[in-house]
């Protein structure tokens, strides 16, 4: 399968005409490749991408699919930028714009940027098109080299959101000779003429290349190194989704539901952390003792910790109730999730085997909670879950976890469920709270029929 991400550079109809087997997608944004989950048999062509007001596609997201053997092609716009940055890692770059970025002849990210409507209609001209048109006009003798340089400087001085031939002409209005030069160029080359649209030309070249035979990415020099980060793992849980009851439910939400509401989660999390520390199977006999030996081998015992250090993880009640071994085991478990780069925290459903309770359909619970949240939000002003009082959520968690409503106790209980602290647990609870308390009673009562 060939997946093409494009918008103002080339239309979906043009993509299909050039590459009939392609699946067209809107301009790429952060998370799209993770959600797509392409296979090594797929080819991904990145032409246009979003960045203003939304997060752009991250380099590590592209590296992740390259490491899985997916062929990724970049050209024209955002694709040319990312290909210039990632061609040493196996991403294919195609076209003149890619080459200019790769060789340093273009350095500004906004040189390929153009504002456009939601349906992909451009509202101006990117700098690369303006400069290419001016250069073409100069070579064909339409305008002088001096006027070309001066108009190019004016085009560069404009913010990307304002770049157009009209804006360039306005910027040159105090010089009648430059105004005449702009008019000569626009008379000769119609606005958005494909003959001078370098981005479109590169897109066509890239699509034709993708429809042919491209070599698989060469990732041997880096894919076996420790290149994955906690950010990539975090994004993977956020953008790996299942379609449930009309909602795209991310894996992260399913994890969070069980962290909060499954009474068995703390026990499974503890077994998972101790197994990760020791290398033994989760729940194996002798795991506690092996974890204590491993910690001691790293110089971690209650005797080597200051009272403040131990007290950060262990509550005063636990210091009285639990022996030293149990206190240290709880400390080890509660501290494991603070660094999200630790591989003990799953980023995929496959990695979560043994941690998720298969008897709880957390995806369905999440979809129902989101549906209820939306219905209540539409029923009146100020009824959104992000406006819920954090103290109300804390009280809800204290009751759910049967934990004293005290800061130290709540932090400890949150860490037993793999949250870094109670504040993080509170924020994770917001989407589930209304459903958990049976908040359908908050909905308006339909008027009685007469």
Q: Is residue 173 part of a domain?
A: yes
Q: Where on the phi/psi map is residue 374: left (φ > 0), alpha (ψ -120 to 50), or beta?
A: alpha
Nearest residue to 397 via CA among 210, 240, 217, 261: 261
Does 366 lie in the same domain as 269? Answer: yes
Q: What pLDDT score was predicted for residue 161? A: 84
pLDDT band at 114 (very low <50, low <70, confident <90, very high): confident
The two tokens of residue 178 are 């430059």
| Residue 401 to residue 282: CA distance in whole angstroms | 23
* Mean pLDDT along residues 275-294: 94
Does 152 lie in the same domain as 101? Answer: no
Q: What pLDDT score was predicted for residue 444? A: 58
Q: What pLDDT score was predicted for residue 190? A: 63
pLDDT in tens, 412-422: 999 999 999 99
The SS3 of residue 165 is helix
Which residues make beta-bridge pairs with 232? none
The SS3 of residue 208 is helix
Residue 6 has pLDDT above 80, yes or no: yes
Residue 450 has pLDDT above 50, yes or no: no
The two tokens of residue 171 are 């910027």
Q: What pLDDT score was predicted for residue 53? A: 82
pLDDT band at 194 (very low <50, low <70, confident <90, very high): low
pLDDT in tens, 354-407: 999 999 999 999 999 999 999 999 999 999 999 999 999 999 999 999 999 999
Give Cβ neighbours of residue 306 (< 8 Å, ≥ 6 apart).
none
Q: Is residue 402 part of a domain?
A: yes
110: DSSP letter: G
Residue 339 has pLDDT above 70, yes or no: no
Does 134 lie in the same domain as 97? Answer: no
**Sign of the C-alpha dihedral, residues 265, 271, 273, 275?**
negative
Q: What pLDDT score was predicted for residue 449? A: 47
| Residue 388 to residue 404: CA distance in whole angstroms | 21
| Residue 235 to residue 128: CA distance in whole angstroms | 32
Does 282 lie in the same domain as 141? Answer: no
Could you say which of 143, 177, 211 is where a domain stops?
211
pLDDT band at 115 (very low <50, low <70, confident <90, very high): confident
Residue 343 has pLDDT above 80, yes or no: no
Q: Is residue 220 part of a domain?
A: no
Does 424 lie in the same domain as 395? Answer: yes
| Residue 48 to residue 74: CA distance in whole angstroms | 9
Q: What pLDDT score was predicted for residue 446? A: 52
122: DSSP letter: B
Give Cβ neighbours of residue 71 (< 8 Å, ≥ 6 apart).
42, 43, 44, 92, 214, 215, 216, 217
Least confident of 41-45, 117-121, 181-185, 343-347: 117-121
Q: Is residue 338 part of a domain?
A: yes
Does 132 lie in the same domain as 90? Answer: no
Does 177 lie in the same domain as 206? Answer: no
Q: Is residue 391 part of a domain?
A: yes
Does 184 lie in the same domain as 155? Answer: yes
Listed ranges 114-118, 212-216, 446-450; the one with the highest mean pLDDT: 212-216
Residue 119 has pLDDT above 80, yes or no: no
Listed ranges 156-170, 186-200, 279-293; the one with the highest mean pLDDT: 279-293
* Mean pLDDT along residues 42-63: 94
Does 247 lie in the same domain as 391? Answer: yes
Listed ranges 193-202, 227-236, 408-417; the one with the highest mean pLDDT: 408-417
pLDDT in tens, 209-225: 999 889 989 999 999 99
Q: What pLDDT score was predicted for residue 96? A: 94
Does 240 lie in the same domain as 364? Answer: yes
Enter the pTM of the model: 0.84
Does 149 lie in the same domain as 93? Answer: no
Q: Which domain holds residue 419?
A: 230-450
Least confident of 56-70, 112-126, 317-331, 361-375: 112-126
Residue 85 has pLDDT above 80, yes or no: yes
The two tokens of residue 122 are 């451009």
- Cβ of 14: how many Cβ atoms within 10 Å? 16
Q: Is residue 221 part of a domain?
A: no
116: DSSP letter: B
- What's the total number of domains in the chain? 3
| Residue 417 to residue 420: CA distance in whole angstroms | 9
Does 256 lie in the same domain as 134? Answer: no
Q: Is residue 217 part of a domain?
A: no
pLDDT band at 126 (very low <50, low <70, confident <90, very high): confident
Task: Give the percent of the chain with pLDDT over 70.
Answer: 95
Cα→Cα distances 55→29, 51, 406, Å: 6, 5, 37
The SS3 of residue 360 is coil
Residue 191 has pLDDT above 60, yes or no: no
Helix or strand run (H / E) with residue 123: none
Q: What pLDDT score was predicted for residue 229? A: 86
Q: Is residue 294 part of a domain?
A: yes
Torsions phi, psi for 428 (to 5 deg): -70, -25
* Mean pLDDT along residues 106-112: 86
Distance of CA 414 to the CA centre of its chain: 25
Q: Which residue has the tokens 């003792």?
A: 289
Give Cβ neighbours of residue 324 (< 8 Å, ≥ 6 apart).
302
Average pLDDT, the chain: 91
| Residue 87 to residue 84: CA distance in whole angstroms | 6
| Residue 151 to residue 186: CA distance in whole angstroms | 13
| Residue 250 to residue 363: CA distance in whole angstroms | 8
Residue 195 has pLDDT above 70, yes or no: no
């Amino acid at each position: 399968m060939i997946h093409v991400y494009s918008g103002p550079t080339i239309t979906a109809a043009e993509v299909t005409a050039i590459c009939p087997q392609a699946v067209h997608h809107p301009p790429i944004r952060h998370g799209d490749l993770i959600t797509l989950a392409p296979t090594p048999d797929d080819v991904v062509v990145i032409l246009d991408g979003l960045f203003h007001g939304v997060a752009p596609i991250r380099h590590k997201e592209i590296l992740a699919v390259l490491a899985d053997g997916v062929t990724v092609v970049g050209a024209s716009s955002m694709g040319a930028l990312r290909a210039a940055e990632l061609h040493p890692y196996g991403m294919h770059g195609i076209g003149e714009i890619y080459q200019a970025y790769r060789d340093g002849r273009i350095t500004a990210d906004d040189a390929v940027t153009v504002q456009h409507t939601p349906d992909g209609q451009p509202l101006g001209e990117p700098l690369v098109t303006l400069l290419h048109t001016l250069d073409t006009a100069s070579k064909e003798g339409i305008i002088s080299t001096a006027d070309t340089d001066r108009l190019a400087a004016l085009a560069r001085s404009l913010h990307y959101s304002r770049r157009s031939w009209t804006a360039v002409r306005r910027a040159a209005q105090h010089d009648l000779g430059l105004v005449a030069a702009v008019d000569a160029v626009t008379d000769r080359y119609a606005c958005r003429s494909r003959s001078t649209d370098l981005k479109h030309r590169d897109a066509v070249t890239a699509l034709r290349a993708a429809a042919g035979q491209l070599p698989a990415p060469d990732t041997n020099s880096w894919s076996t190194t420790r290149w994955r980060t906690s950010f990539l793992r975090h994004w993977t849980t956020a953008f790996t989704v299942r379609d449930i009851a009309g909602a795209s439910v991310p894996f992260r939400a399913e994890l969070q539901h069980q962290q909060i509401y499954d009474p068995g989660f703390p026990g499974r999390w503890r077994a998972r952390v101790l197994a990760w520390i020791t290398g033994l199977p989760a729940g194996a006999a002798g795991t506690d003792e092996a974890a204590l030996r491993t910690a001691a081998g790293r110089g971690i015992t209650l005797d080597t910790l200051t009272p403040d250090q131990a007290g950060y993880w262990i509550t005063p009640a636990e210091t009285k109730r639990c022996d030293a071994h149990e206190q240290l085991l709880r400390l080890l478990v509660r501290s494991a999730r603070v660094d999200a780069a630790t591989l003990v925290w799953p980023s995929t459903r496959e990695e979560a085997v043994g941690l998720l309770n298969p008897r709880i359909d957390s995806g369905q619970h999440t979809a129902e909670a989101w549906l209820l949240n939306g219905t209540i939000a539409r029923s009146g002003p100020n009824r959104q879950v992000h406006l819920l009082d954090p103290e109300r959520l804390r009280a809800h968690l204290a009751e759910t976890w049967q934990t004293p409503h005290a800061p130290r106790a709540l932090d400890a209980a949150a860490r037993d469920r793999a949250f870094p602290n109670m504040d993080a647990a509170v924020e994770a609870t917001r989407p589930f709270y209304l459903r958990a308390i049976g908040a359908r009673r908050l909905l308006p009562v339909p008027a009685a029929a007469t």
